[in-house]
Every structure is written in structure tokens, then in C-alpha cells.
Chains A and B, each alone.
Chain A
């Protein structure tokens, strides 16, 4: 009955309001804060109408309203003020800081809004403005350094490349460790389709993650659910945390058009340093001093010629008086160069001149509209980006629509539709592959090459002109193509067309009970094709891969909320059910034996029979879940949740798994009263989360091959399946403390967590003599424990100036507690060359790089052999983990009148990576360090001692009879031994300190143009400076070539980049 009465009251009120709108007038006024300082940007709405405005920079406003109407003034961090319009035309408002600003409402699992103070776990939100301030092209990358406990690494130089995201460390050994991404309730697929070879640095293109499709400008906020208690309701795939993204929606009472235009420039930042004293040639490691020139007799004349067939730089010392025939002197089609010797000098345009400034142009427009009953937002965005390597391009277009309407008092509907096209041309290949150009720049190349001259890469009749010709009289490529041929002829395309969205309804039975029904959909097709042109060093080819992904979630919930005991006890509860259906299919096809017709790229152009591979997969998870939250008197809160999943990927007998969570908090400041203490809360929680696995892990199968001499051959798959898999289980404990002081001028959020994942579903690498290279088992326990600190301060606040400071810090200790019986080490991936591997080792942190080490004496000196070369241990050792010790971010924002500025410093300490470029750049005499201190002429005595090394049967050693090393070896020997010697010399610390973001903004006063509500111009920079590198040739983040567990391998990466630009935002 009470509901009915309420409804009636509303109706009567509305009637009165409608009756009295006759006498409109202009109401003006000034809005100030509690200290009398004018507040700009306060939203003012005439209640019951769509009429609204904002205060200008001086806190002034003007609005049409009639006497009797009510104005509401809203502003973030201030209590909402409502004032009735009376007879006066001036209505000033003073707002008060909301004493409980921490009483903010946050979005929690399943999109349910809760008061932050009631939560028993850590969440950290980042606003859309913070995410877009420095215009990162991938919305998720913008989180880097912003959130305690979220570690992001991204190889910035790859156009739209992969991002590795970890929340609170690594929980699974070989399965997914990336968080779930949820956009407005839609679980958004973030697959990465990079080949295993690309991920381990042995070559390929980085096609990035599917999460790249999110348009950063549509994001209102991101909220990171870090631990089990926060994420448990999302079920099995939230075991690694959840990034909840809420997009912008239409606001009640305002129509707005926002136009955003920006330009971003990108240039390489940390590049390998190249020597500029010697050119191409083979050299001889057994002697000191560089070699001379080969000679060729052409048309009766004898010329000095370069050793083109050798892709190394151990050649003659540069000498401007020596004229030689360079690579481009053999083609009569280019008369100015033909048989025309040029000086032997360092080039004007060296290797690094291949890079250009990439440009990204972003244009977006958003329309929002809303009233009390409905709202909508439509946005369009287009970004066109060119990469730092020539002829590379990425375009993204997105359309986002969302709307909600109250159809009746009881029934609400909402819907959202997102459409995105991510369309790339020729994303650059990196790693140890001829598909890319890095290999001939830093691995195997010649330092005298003038890259400007290489641009003439083709003869008029279309033949490739290559510096690495077989011989003076043989123009065919020996090992490598001309880099400009590679970039211009051997190109690729990829295109992802994606739709995602949701429809939902909300029916309110009464004040206490409502039901929600939702359907979430995410589907895309992703097409990749790659070309190798006729005339390349590699066999001409064309391949095409088509993938179709679809996920549908059907969800129903019934909520019961009630306050009892004089409103002292609040109950929020719901039960729900979800069905998730995933389907994925891939059709890959490639030509064989070359292409028949040059420059025609179609599978039908295959010389031999083309290969076609089909892969389809389906997965279903049914779930039932529920939650009860109790709150007492704004002081004590307690939540219990439970969820049961039934997964199609597990054996029937083990496919049902239940997991609960408990969490609670106490708001101590309700009883601890002190002037300096604004807020204090302790919280704690426990959760279990189960995980299933990928489809088809239960039964062994045969793999079909291309037809051979009349049969279709089959072979046993090299991975052994397991019919008795059980779900993986993760247990999380978490406690935290939140405090605020001095009216929120200083606040602190501390979290300690301890997570143990057990029964890990693991693709265990086994001795191949078992008949398989790996087997799927439930084994082991992995522990992550750590602390997260978030400190916010506003050290200075005056009338015109404010300074905000945020420090976030996260330290995660990870240890593999156990594996399967008798197995101490699990190989996650093999890095290219020399048997160096990435492992999980019992008793150690996840992600150990294992390889041979230097031999050290007891005093810690490196031991050299009788020839003065570094020794190598017989056994492989743990050379360190790819996972850092800690990450932290310092963020500073300043505002002064219409100006704002900020910068973010992102620090990573610890972690290792292995560099293949360091191996081959030294091997081939390209890197600067191969020519320092005149070592090519004089040789070098390695730092170390001589000694007698004795090995026992297990390969352990002792060193005796140590003495001074006086043996001189050639620089080339030193360089070659980066390949032939131990692996430790190519493993480096992944420490960095980065100036991650710099922003500068100015709100342009726009009083003189009526139509414009606000205008803001900003300048920004990203990754501008890097300090603290172990090896100055590499940014440690380039060792990320995929977003999976294979990390820490720099295999010939595109150098990291810095970006900077300008952005203009206009609101109408």
C-alpha cells in the first residue's frame, strides 16, 4: 500500500510543477564552496525539466526558471544543494564539501553499484579523464602506473601491439593470467592471436589484443576489482581480477555535443646504439685488426668491393680516401651509381634513420541527451595512425550507442550497441625473421649502408635491389631482403569488425524487490593476410586467416533490498543465473611452393596445392549465484556470495564447482572522533574462485596433415590430454585499511593479500621420451602475497591553485610452492637460440629464465678459460624471474585558474629479460660496444680471472688456482662469444623509471561564443623519458610480444617509442 501512496504523491507533485511553469524568468547567481571560493563547472538543473546549465569559471550562472521551481546544484565532492526559485532573480548557492567524500559509490561485480565504504575488499577506480589525458591509443595501457597492483607492459613501438596485464601477479602456471574485461556488463573478449614464435621473440607480427577495440573516449571510468572477494561473483574467469569499464551515458537534464580532435606524434625512444667506425665484412676472429676489401674486375677495370654476402660489420675501418663499389653500383638502370666508386665512410643516414615520426589523428563527436525518464548517448570516433616504420598504418572507427528508458514506473529498459572496425595495414614484423626489418638492422647487417640509398629498392623492371647480394656478379639476395622491399612489398593486412552490446530490462515489483534480465553479446570477425612478393629472399607466398568469435551471456537476477530496524540494518541481496556460450572458429589457408603470377595475392595463385586448416571450438558455462549484504548503522558491513559453475570443458564427474566469498568492513570513524581524522575503515575478505580450462583437453587425438603420395597422413598430437581434470582453485585472503585525514586532504588505502592457487591445470612440459612434449595435469600450488598502498594528498590548495599528489605502490611476492611429484621445474616457453627457457621453478618466483651462467670463483670473479674467453657452466641455472619486485607510480596534478598540468612517473624495480639482439648485435659487430676503446685494433682483455675448474658428476664445479687474466682476444671473438658463450651475459634487469605521462591543459574562456559551453585545449606526452636501464640499448618493455605467459624475450623488437601531441575538446 505504501508504494501506491508514494506513486500518488509523485503524480500530484508533478501536476503542481506543470501548473506552475508559466512565469519563466532569468535566474542568475554565483556558486561558491564552503570557503566562499567560486566553483566553476557546477551542474544546475531545473528539476522536472531538461533545462540545465553549468557555472562559468567565476562560478556564475544564468538559467531560465519560474518561481516555485527548484534548482539543484551538483558538483563532485560537494553535497548536492536544492534551492527554490522565489521572487528574487538572484539565487546564490554555497556548497559544502561532502564530509564523507569517500562515501563514493563504486561499481562492483555484475555492475551493481555499492557505497565504497561498505566494501570488504580493495577496488580502485580511474576516471575517463585520467585515462584519456595522455591519449594512449589503447585504453588499457593508460592504466599503467595508475593503479596499485596492476602491472602493464606494452611494447610501444608495435602499432597497436599487445599489452601484458597482470593484477596481483601470476596465479596460473600455463593458463590464462590476464584479467577479465567487462564493459557495461559485457564480458569483452581480449584474445591475442600472435603466433607462439612471435611471442617468444623468434619472429612475427604483433596483431595486438582484441581489447584494443574499446574507444578510450567512451570510457567514463575504469574500476579494477583486484582480488577474489571483489571478483568472485564473476565466476571462473575472474580468477585473475576484473577490469570493469563503465562507459559514458546521457545525463538527465542536459543535451550536449562534445567534439574532440587531437593529433599525436610518435617517435622512437630507446634504440640500440650502433658503431660508426667500421663497415660490412666478415673479419677473422683469430686475428686482431679489420680485414681488407675484396676485388672484382668488371669490364676490364678492377674495383674494391664490399663483402656484400656477409651480413656482418667486422669489415674494414672507414676511410674517406678509399673509394669502393657499394651495393648499388651494379645496376646499369641507375647510371649515376653504376660502377661509380664512393668513399668508404659512415653513412649520412644510418640504420636508425629508417624510423620516421608516426602520426595519429583522432576525431570524435558525442551526442548526449537525457531527461528524467530516458537518456541516450551516441558517439563516433575515428583514429588514423601511421607507425614509426614506413608504410605501416592503423585505422580505428567506432560507433557507440547506449540508451535507457523508464517505460513505466516499474519497468526500465536499456540497450547498448558498439561497432568497431580496427583496420591495420602492414603491422611491422619484429623478432628473428626476414618478414621484418629489425633483423638486418641490429642482428645481421652492414653499418656502412646509407638507408636513404636503400630506398631505391627496385629496378624499373621490378627486380629487387639488395645490399646482401650473393656476389658482385650475382644480384640475388643471400640471406636478407632490402629493408624497403620488405616494408613495401611483403606486407600484411588485418581487420577486425566487431559488434558488442547488451539489452536488458529491470522490473520493479515493489520497493524491495526487482528483477533484472540481460543478454550480453560480443562478436567479431578477424581477418589477417600476409604476403611475400615474388623476388624476395623467401619463397613467395600468401596466407589468409579468418577468425570468428562469439560470446553470448544470458543473465537473470532477482534482487531483494530492504532496510529494517528503523533503517539501521540494510539488506541487499540477490540470486541469479547465467549461461555463457562461446564459439570460435578459424579457417587458415596458405599457398605452397610459391606464387604463379607475381603481385597477385589470392590462394588460387598457389604453385602447389594450398594448405587449409580448420579449427572450431565451443564452450558453455552454466552458473547459479547469489549474494547477501548486510549493513548496520553505517558502521558494520558484511557480504557473503556464492557461485556454482558447470563447465563443458571439464569431465562430467568434475564439471560442477562451487565457490563462496565472505567480506566485511567496519567504519571506525563513526565512533573514533577526532578533528584530524575524517574517515577510517578496516576491511577483510576471503574468497574461493574456481577455473575450468580450454575445450578439448580430455581425450588424445590425431592431427591430420597435407595429403602425401595418395594418403592423408595422421600423427599423434604431441600434447597428452587428461580425462580426469579437476577445476583449478584459487583461495584469497585480503585485509585492508582506509583512512582519510584533514577533511580528505590526505588519504590512505592499504591492502595486504595472500592468494594460493592449487590444483593448477597445467600443460606440463615433460621429457619427450614419454612420447609427448607436454601433458595436461592438475598439479602444484602457486602463492601470491603482497601489499598495495594508495596515498592521495592535496598538499596545496589556495583560491586559484591546487596540487594533488598520488602515490601507488604494489609489491607482489610470488612463489611456486609445489609442482607434480618429482618435478621441480616446468618450462613455460623456449626462447630462440641456445636452449634458454622460461620456467616455473618450485621454491622460486614464477617466470625464471634458465640458461647457462658465467663460472665464478669464490670471490665472485668471472672465470675465463686458457684462451681468455668466459667460461660457461655445464648446467643451466636460474638467471632470474621476468616478474618485477615492485611497481609504483607517482602522479602529480596541478591546477591554476584555467590551467591544469600533471605528470606521472612509473617505476619498475626488478625482473629480468633476455635479449637476442644483444647476442647477434655483438656477434655481427653492429652494436657500438663492439668498437669501443679501439678494441678492433688492440683486442680486449676480459675482466675476470683464470683458474682450474673441476666438475663433479652432477655438473657442479669448484674453481681453484685463480690468477690474473692477461690474455688478449680479438673484439670479434668477444662479440661471437655472446652467442657461443654463456647465456647470463644476455640477461638484463628490467628496471625502469619512466616519465609515463605529462599533460598540460587550458580551459579557453568561451563567454563570447554563446553556443560553446566549454573549450579545452591540452598538450600531452607519453613515455617521454626513461631512466635507470640496465642495458641502454633496450627499453625492458619491448620484451613483451604477446599478452600471454610467454614474456621476457627481446628477440629483435621494434624500439620503444614516445608520443606527444595536442588535443582540443569543445562542448556545445
Chain B
């Protein structure tokens, strides 16, 4: 009996020891669902599309920048039009930008790390991949810092103890880099990237849905972005701005619409442009009255602008017909009426009382523009003291891009009032239709366009929209009633509330540097208007 006793104990112990030496345990934990390494072109394909989605989404753009710049307004629940944007919108812009940056950083790491760079080269030239990723990082960080001010920042080329973003192994609580440093570094990154491109080699063999791997175009995009960034520094740090601008022009900026940087989308709903997706089941946005009035020649001092027929649809066009590009086109300006901006009772107006966007905009494969030649031309006009030639180039390039008939372009350009600050910047605003974050940047910097409805301004509804309301209490006019304390446009967005929890000390430090704390009316350093 004793024997069995001991033997059995030993047997069980032995079994246990077998288990403990089970070297299969490690292989059991190999992830069968997600790879640890992938081709860089496949990361780039996702990342540029995501960059467009982040800045052009139905919330970041549709319920924030587009209405704030009075291109589009909401057809119901116009709270965001009065600047009561949802917390999730600001949080989304902040969070998604860094997740997006992580993808670009992964491409940089894979092309830089000695162990992986040769494999990464299968997707394209290492230097070109690095340069293109730096351009995109500059683009998205520029958007981000212009919304919030100081933000945590990552730089590929610069070691600075303030640049602590995207380093989770170092810190969970990155400090907020000063916006001045961020501007300086974006200029330096773009310069370095433009110089890094090897124009005789492709950038990516596939997955580049902006320029199809054309390094020369990427280089022009980098230089053109320098103009946008440096122009915003003028009057604040002229020396740095002018140096950057001269170098960029010397290196080569965009010269025609063929150089435009636009993200392509697919025709399938799932992979379609952000606003196509927003309109799949809803009809939340329409073109606003002040913008329609501007194009009809009723605001500012331009004549009727045929781009109206390309940017908006006549009021008779049903939203389903716009989506299928089957409505009857009209070149009669009277057929276009904008939705009253920030009208609290907009939802009682029928869809047939105002203009939606055109089929050129509302289509699944609409390409979202990161930067186009006409903006470059307007920037050059501004840099050259509002030069007439660059101004005309800008207007005609924009009209050409929207598909206006060449004869109509010629006659419209011929009838333009002469170049000056207001005319150039108002035309730049029209050309930036569907690029509202850049228009919002320009507005804060310059106060133009001067065609927006101001807070407190009374707007008179057109007769068709008065008649659409209940006879008992028809509203014929209403003042633009923004949320307090805003009297013009917000100067910035407040930091996402979650940062109070996730990175409290550094957020507080950044907030305390703002002129009015973490509030909508704290001006950013470049905002010298």
C-alpha cells in the first residue's frame, strides 16, 4: 500500500513538472489575427485616407469648420453653427490626429531602422517614403495646433525636450510643446522633406492615393505648404516667414491644378468620401445663404460667379437626385437659395426651400483637397503685396478646377475688381470651398472674408422660406445668436475634457499660457488680427 501511495504522488508531481516545462505556452500566444509587420505602402494608404477623414468628417468639418466659415449650415439642430460644438468633435480631432501620426511614424521607423529599412524599400525609395511621411505629419500637426494652440508634438528631425508626443515608452503624459516651436519645426520639417525627395525615384509603388508616387509633386506640395504655414507667421516673425517663403519658392511650388494634393476615395460606400458617407442616411447639411449670396454677387463686390452652379444645386433638386447626379442643372442664379445660417427653426423649412451641395461634391469618389494651386496663387498674390496677376491666376485656377467653361472664366476674370486685400482674400475664401479649416485659419489671421454674417446681425429670410413656416408664428428675420462669450468666431477649440483626466498637469500648464485660459476666446500667438 505504501508503495502505491508514494508512486502516485510522484506520478502526479511528474505530470505537473511536464506542464511547467511546456514550452508550447509561448507559441500559443502568437497573435493569429494581426501581423507584427506589414508593407509600408499599406500603412501609407490607410494613413493619408485617415488624415482626410479626420479633417473632413461630418463632425470635424460638417458640424464645425464648414458651418463656422458659413459654407454649409445644418438643416436641423444648428447648435454647432452657433459654436456649441460637441465635446466629441474636439476630442475626435485631437485623438485621431495622434493615432494618424502614429501610422506615419511607423513608416518613418520602418524606413529608418537598420533591421527593417531594406524590407521597407520594397514599397519605394526609403528617403522618399520618409519625406512624404514628414510632409503629412506637418500637414496634420499644423491643422491640430491651429485648433488648440500648444499641443504635444512629435518631430522626426528635431530633438527638443518639449517634443514628447508619440513616445509611449518614455512617457504617458507628454508636455504640450509651445506653438511657436511647433510652427518653427513644421517649417523646418517641410524644408527638410522637400530637399529629401529624390524626384527620379517613386515615393511609393502603390498606396499613394494623393500623387501616385510622383516625388516631384510631393516636393511641390511640401514647398506650397511652407507658403501656407509661413504666411501665417507674417506680422509675428517676418524674418522666419520670409526666409521660409523664399526658399520654398526657389525650390518650386505648385504651378497648376495638375499639382493639386487631393486624397482619392473609392466608389463603394464603405470607402467613400466622408460627406458621401454622412449623406447615406441623412441630409444634415446644405449650402448657406451668405455663401450663395456671395456667389450670386449679392455680397462683396464680385459679379455673379458661375462656380455657384458647380458648388451647389438648385433648390428644385431632390437630395436623392443629387446623389445619383440626375437633377436638372440650372444656370439661373434665382434657382439657388442658401439655407439661413444658424436658424434655430431650420428644420421646419422643407428640403425644397434651399440649395444642397452639387453632385460634384456629393459623390462617393469626391477627392478631398489638402492643398490646391489656386491657394498657392492667392498666397503669392498676398506675399507680393496683393499682386493682380497671382490673384487672377488664383481665380481662374479655381474656376477651372470646378469645371467652369473657359469662356465664362475669361469673362469673369476680366470683370474682377482689382487686387487688394479684401478682394484677394474674399476670392481665396471662395476657392477654399470644402477646405474650411484653412479658410478658418485665414479668417482668424486676417478677418477675411468680410462676407460672413456677424454675431447679432439680423438676417431676413427670403419669401419662400417665410411661407414654409407655420402661419401663427412665422419668423421673417432673426439675429445670429452665438453662444456666449463668442462675439465673432471662436479663436480656438478648448482642450478635450478628457485631458483633464489623462494629462492634467500638462494641460493646466498649457491652459495657463493662453491669454484667457482654456477658453474659446483665447487668441493664438499668430493671431495678430
Contact = CB atoms under 8 A, between A and B. Distances in A.
Interface of A: 282, 284-286, 291-295, 307, 309-310, 470-471, 473-474, 479, 509-510, 513, 515, 537-539, 556-558, 560, 575-577, 579, 592-594, 607-609, 611, 614-620, 622-624, 644, 646-649, 652, 655-656, 695-696, 698-706, 708-718, 720, 764-773, 775, 820, 822-825, 827, 830, 833-835, 837, 839, 850, 852, 865, 874-876, 951, 953-955, 980
B518 to A, nearest CB: 7
Interface stretch (B114-122, B161-169, B245-253): B161-169
Contacts of A294: 348, 468-470
A474 B33 contact: no
A767 B12 contact: no
A771 B502 contact: no
A770 B167 CA distance: 6
Contact of B268 (A509, A592, A698, A710): A592
A558 B347 contact: no
Interface string B12-37: 11011101101011101101111111
A715 B43 CA distance: 6
Contact of B4 (A513, A556, A614, A703): A513
A284 B344 contact: yes
Query: Top 10 closest A-B pairs, CB basis?
Result: A292-B472, A622-B19, A713-B46, A624-B16, A769-B152, A701-B34, A608-B268, A767-B503, A835-B87, A593-B269
Interface string B327-371: 000000000000000001101101110000000000000000000
Contacts of A827: 498, 501-502
B517 interface: yes
Nearest to A698: B29
Given A644-B16, A770-B98, 4 more contacts: A624-B17, A648-B26, A709-B209, A769-B94
A171 to B, nearest CB: 22
A507 B34 CA distance: 47
B42 A767 contact: no
A823 B500 CA distance: 11
B463 interface: no
Contacts of B504: 824-825
A835 B497 CA distance: 7
A769 B503 contact: yes
B172 A558 contact: no
A620 B518 contact: no
A850 B84 contact: no
Given A292-B473, A714-B42, A835-B91, A825 B350 contact: no
B105 interface: yes
Contact of B45 (A470, A594, A708): A708
Interface string B455-483: 00000000000001111110100000100
Interface string B253-276: 000000000001010111100000
Contact of A577 (B5, B15, B268, B499): B15
B171 interface: yes
Nearest to A511: B1
A646 B76 contact: no
A662 to B, nearest CB: 21
A509 B11 CA distance: 15
A766 B502 contact: yes
A235 to B, nearest CB: 13
B472 A701 contact: no
B112 interface: no
B344 A713 contact: no
Given A705-B46, A827-B501, A284 B345 contact: yes
B38 interface: yes
Contacts of B87: 833-835
Interface in B390-429: none
Contact of B172 (A608, A655, A770, A835): A770
Interface of B: 1, 4-5, 8-9, 11-13, 15-17, 19-20, 22, 24-26, 28-29, 31-39, 41-43, 45-47, 49-50, 76, 79, 84, 86-88, 91, 94-95, 98-99, 101-103, 105-106, 151-152, 154, 165-168, 171-174, 206-207, 209, 264, 266, 268-271, 280-283, 344-345, 347-348, 350-352, 468-473, 475, 481, 484, 496-505, 508, 511-512, 517-518
B344 to A, nearest CB: 6
A720 B168 contact: yes
Given A770-B172, A771-B165, A702 B49 contact: no
B281 A709 contact: no
A875 to B, nearest CB: 6
A617 B30 CA distance: 9
Nearest to B177: A769
A813 to B, nearest CB: 23
15 contacts: A282-B348, A285-B344, A539-B269, A577-B12, A608-B269, A614-B33, A616-B33, A624-B16, A644-B20, A648-B28, A711-B41, A720-B168, A767-B152, A769-B98, A770-B166
Name the residue among A699, A716, A874 with the largest chain B CB count within 10 angstroms.
Answer: A716
Given A708-B266, A835-B87, A510 B101 contact: no
B423 to A, nearest CB: 37
A646 B102 CA distance: 34
Contacts of B8: 509, 513, 515, 558
A1014 B508 CA distance: 74
Given A294-B470, A835-B88, A702 B102 contact: no
Contacts of B207: 711, 713
Contacts of A953: 508, 511-512, 517
A820 B503 CA distance: 13
A607 B347 CA distance: 31
Contacts of B84: 980
B49 A713 contact: yes
Contacts of B470: 291-295, 307
Nearest to A1: B1
A646 B20 contact: yes
Contact of B174 (A575, A644, A769, A852): A769
B101 A771 contact: yes
Contacts of B481: 286
Given A713-B49, A714-B43, A835-B88, A701 B31 contact: yes
B12 A770 contact: no
Name the residue among A538, A648, A830, A850 with the largest chain B CB count within 10 angstroms.
Answer: A648
A770 B174 contact: yes
A841 to B, nearest CB: 9
Contacts of B167: 770-771
Contact of A767 (B28, B49, B173): B173
Contacts of B471: 292-293, 295
A332 B505 CA distance: 65
Contacts of B283: 470
B13 A575 contact: yes
A282 B347 contact: yes
Contacts of A479: 282
Given A539-B269, A592-B270, A824-B504, A768 B95 contact: yes
Given A474-B350, A593-B270, A624 B50 contact: no
A293 B395 CA distance: 47
A295 B474 CA distance: 11
Contacts of B352: 471
Nearest to A772: B168
Contacts of A611: 270
